[in-house]
Structure 1
Amino acid sequence: MKPTVQTLLDRDELGLGLVTPADGLPTDALAAPVAWAHSSDLVDPTPFLDAGHVLLTTGTQFDGDQTGADAAGFAHAYVERLRERGVAALGFGTEVIRDGTPVALVEACTRLGLPLFEVPYRVPFIAIAKLVADLLSEDAYARQAWAFSAQRAISRAALRPDGLSATLGELSERLGTWVGLVDATGALDREAPAGGLAQPALGEVVGEARTMLRRGQRAGRTLLAGESVGEPQRITLQTLGAGGALRGVLAIGDSPQLDQAGREVVTSVIALAGLSLEQNRNLDRARGHLRTGLLRSLLSGDTALAEGVATEMWGPLPGAPVRIAVTDAPGPAFDRMSELLELHVDERDGRLFFARDDDRVVLVLEAPDSALAEELSTEFEVPVGLSDAVGLDALAVAHEQALRALDRAREAGSRGSDDDARTPRVVAFDEISRQGVLAFLARTDARAVAIATLAPLVEHDEASGTALVETVRTWLEHGGQFDATAQQLGVHRHTVRSRIALAERLLDRDLSGFHARADLWAALLAVQ
Structure 2
Amino acid sequence: MQPTVQTLLDRQELALSLLTPAPDLPTGALAAPIAWAHSSDLADPTPFLDTGHVLLTTGTQFESDAEARESESAFAEAYVRRLRDAGIAALGFGTEVIRAGTPDALVEACGRQGLPLFEVPYRVPFIAIARLVADLLAEDAYSRQAWALAAQRAISLAALRPDGLSATLGELSNRLGAWVGLVDAAGSLDREAPDGGLEQPALGEVVGEARSMLRRGQRASRTLVAGESAGSPQRITLQTLGGGGSLRGVLAIGDSAELDQAGREVVTSVIALAGLALEQNRDLDRARGHLRTGLLRGILAGDTELAQRVAGEMWGPLPGAPFRVAVADVPAQHVDRLTELLELRVEQRGGRLFFGRDDDTVVLLLEDSDTALADEVAAEFEVPVGISDAVAADGVALAHEQALRALERARESTPGVVAFDEISRQGVLAFLARTDARAVALATLAPLAEHDAANGTALIATTRAWLEHGGQFDATAQALGVHRHTVRSRVALAERLLGRDLSGFHARADLWAALLAVD
Instruction: State the TM-score, normalizing by the size of structure 2.
Output: 0.74
Query: Alignment partner for residue 471 of structure 1, among 442, 446, 466?
Result: 466
Q: 1:388 to 1:35 in 2, by over 3 A?
A: closer
Amino acid of the residue matched to residue 400 of structure 2? Answer: H
Residues 30-62 of structure 1 show CA distances to partners (whole Å, capped at 9, x for unaligned) of: 222223345667777767655434345666777
Matches within 5 A, 1:81-120: 83=84, 86-92=87-93, 100-120=101-121
1:447 and 1:527 in contact (8 A); partners too: no
State the secondary structure of the residue aligned to 1:444. coil
CA distance in 2, matches of 1:273, 1:465: 70
Q: 1:249 to 1:409 in 2, by over 3 A?
A: closer
2:182 and 2:249 in contact (8 A); partners too: yes
Q: List gaps (5 residues or longer) in structure 1.
A: 414-420, 477-481
State the secondary structure of the residue aligned to 2:395. helix
CA distance in 2, matches of 1:156, 1:275: 15
State the secondary structure of the residue aligned to 1:389. coil
State the secondary structure of the residue aligned to 2:321. coil
Matches within 5 A, 1:118-267: 118-120=119-121, 128-152=129-153, 154-155=155-156, 158=159, 171=172, 174-175=175-176, 193=198, 195=200, 197=202, 209=213, 240-241=241-242, 255-267=256-268
Deviates more, 1:370-379 or 1:234-243: 234-243
* 1:313, distance to aligned residue in structure 2 (A): 2.9
2:326 and 2:403 in contact (8 A); partners too: yes
Amino acid of the residue matched to residue 419 of structure 2? Answer: V
Query: Alignment partner for residue 426 of structure 1, among 418, 423, 430?
Result: 418
CA distance in 2, matches of 1:180, 1:13: 47
Identity %: 68
Amino acid of the residue matched to residue 466 of structure 2? Answer: T
1:439 and 1:526 in contact (8 A); partners too: no
Amino acid of the residue matched to residue 517 of structure 1? Answer: F
Say whether residues 1:441 and 2:428 are aligned partners: no
Q: 1:126 to 1:323 in 2, by over 3 A?
A: same
CA distance in 2, matches of 1:361, 1:298: 14
Q: 1:401 maps to which residue?
A: 402
Deviates more, 1:221-230 or 1:139-148: 221-230
Q: 1:150 to 1:197 in 2, by over 3 A?
A: farther
1:447 and 1:523 in contact (8 A); partners too: no
Q: 1:294 to 1:498 in 2, by over 3 A?
A: same
CA distance in 1, matches of 2:491, 2:25: 102
CA distance in 1, matches of 2:175, 2:163: 18
1:386 and 1:427 in contact (8 A); partners too: yes
Q: 1:7 maps to which residue?
A: 7
State the secondary structure of the residue aligned to 2:20. coil
Amino acid of the residue matched to residue 509 of structure 2? Answer: W
* 1:322, distance to aligned residue in structure 2 (A): 1.5
Deviates more, 1:34-43 or 1:220-229: 220-229
Q: 2:195 maps to which residue?
A: none
Residues 290-316 of structure 1 show CA distances to partners (whole Å, capped at 9, x for unaligned) of: 221110121123322212222233222
Matches within 5 A, 1:291-370: 291-370=292-371
State the secondary structure of the residue aligned to 1:392. coil
Residues 422-452 of structure 1 show CA distances to partners (whole Å, capped at 9, x for unaligned) of: 3644122x45556665555324344544554
CA distance in 2, matches of 1:495, 1:81: 96
CA distance in 2, matches of 1:128, 1:56: 9
2:387 and 2:417 in contact (8 A); partners too: no
Q: 1:469 to 1:223 in 2, by over 3 A?
A: closer
Amino acid of the residue matched to residue 444 of structure 1? Answer: T
Q: 1:91 to 1:378 in 2, by over 3 A?
A: closer
CA distance in 2, matches of 1:434, 1:201: 44
Say whether residues 1:521 and 2:509 are aligned partners: yes
Amino acid of the residue matched to residue 441 of structure 1? Answer: L
Matches within 5 A, 1:486-525: 508=499, 517-518=505-506, 520-525=508-513
Residues 319-354 of structure 1 show CA distances to partners (whole Å, capped at 9, x for unaligned) of: 122211223223344444434433332321221111
Q: 1:322 to 1:444 in 2, by over 3 A?
A: closer
What is the aligned-residue RMSD (CA, Å)? 5.1
CA distance in 2, matches of 1:407, 1:244: 27
State the secondary structure of the residue aligned to 2:394. helix
2:183 and 2:210 in contact (8 A); partners too: no
State the secondary structure of the residue aligned to 2:343. helix
Amino acid of the residue matched to residue 321 of structure 1? Answer: P
Instruction: State the TM-score, normalizing by the size of structure 1.
Output: 0.73
CA distance in 1, matches of 2:47, 2:416: 70
Deviates more, 1:262-271 or 1:48-57: 48-57
Deviates more, 1:173-182 or 1:337-346: 173-182
Residues 486-517 of structure 1 show CA distances to partners (whole Å, capped at 9, x for unaligned) of: 578769999999888777666555667xxx52
2:2 and 2:34 in contact (8 A); partners too: yes
State the secondary structure of the residue aligned to 2:357. strand
Q: 1:25 maps to which residue?
A: 25
Matches within 5 A, 1:63-82: none
1:205 and 1:225 in contact (8 A); partners too: no
2:51 and 2:88 in contact (8 A); partners too: yes
Deviates more, 1:130-139 or 1:224-233: 224-233
CA distance in 2, matches of 1:46, 1:471: 92
Q: 1:520 to 1:109 in 2, by over 3 A?
A: closer
State the secondary structure of the residue aligned to 1:117. strand
Deviates more, 1:387-396 or 1:363-372: 387-396
1:472 and 1:500 in contact (8 A); partners too: no
